[in-house]
Amino acid sequence: MAGLFHGESDPFVDHPENDLRADADYSNRPRPQPRSFDELADEPDPAEIAEANRRSSRQAWIFLFAVLISSAVVAGVLGIVFRSMGGPLCEAGEAIWLCTPNAQLIWGIAALTIPTVGMLAAGFIMLSKYRRYLRWRTWMGVFYMLVPHSMFWLFNGIQMIYASTLH
């Protein structure tokens, strides 16, 4: 046992149920304690719980990058499409991409939809993971990353929606 304090590895950590130091899972919602042997036997396998926790973190990172990338792609593609369609604002010599008030309105709504829905979905998924006793902290991080992202797109989208009413 003295070897554990001098940097030697713990020989019993081969099994997830013996790993009492997994930092990422200390904040998981604790499962209810079994009150009988049958409830104890019905408990999920610790290896399956560990894999579900790792899968939850991978899903969170994929979700974050999917929302970030799809927000930019949708806004960019719509901007290019509306610029190529032309309109009275572009023909007037103004250096803008959205050439009609209708294009400004559609772009404003489309640009704020993906980030807002992504942020709300991350919050609901985080709550779902928490209720199922799975790793939810990564989803909290994703939610906090998506809040300023969605605020940026909300401000831009609302500004474009407002600009479309001025013409």
Tens digits of residue pLDDT in 16-56: 566 555 555 666 777 777 788 887 788 788 788 888 888 99
Asked if residue 5 is part of any domain, the answer here is no
- pLDDT above 90 covers what percent of the chain? 38
Asked if residue 116 is part of any domain, the answer here is yes
Q: Is the pLDDT of residue 122 over 90?
A: yes
Domain count, the chain: 1
CA distance readout (Å), 118 to 58, 137, 147, 151, 162: 16, 17, 9, 12, 23
- Which residues touch 116 (CB under 8 Å, ≥6 apart)? 150, 153, 154
The more confidently predicted of residues 89 and 135 is: 135
Asked if residue 25 is part of any domain, the answer here is no
Asked if residue 73 is part of any domain, the answer here is yes
Asked if residue 3 is part of any domain, the answer here is no
Length of the chain: 167
Asked if residue 24 is part of any domain, the answer here is no
Q: Which amino acid does the sequence have at 127?
A: L
Model confidence at 149, pLDDT cuts 50, 70, 90, reads very high
Q: Residue 37 has what pLDDT?
A: 83
Count of CA atoms in the C-beta half-sphere (13 A) of 83: 11
Asked if residue 31 is part of any domain, the answer here is no
If you compute the radius of gyration of the chain from its CA atoms, what whole number of angstroms results?
A: 25
Residue 145, Cβ density class (10 Å: 0-12 exposed, 13-18 middle, ≥19 buried):
middle
Q: Give long-range contacts, CB 8 A cutoff, 24+ apart: 6-12.
A: none
The domain in which residue 124 lies consists of 49-164
pTM of the model: 0.77
d(CA 26, CA 50): 12
Q: Is the pLDDT of residue 58 over 70?
A: yes
Mean pLDDT of 85-100: 75
Q: Is the pLDDT of residue 100 over 90?
A: no
CB of 130 within 8 A of CB of 120?
no
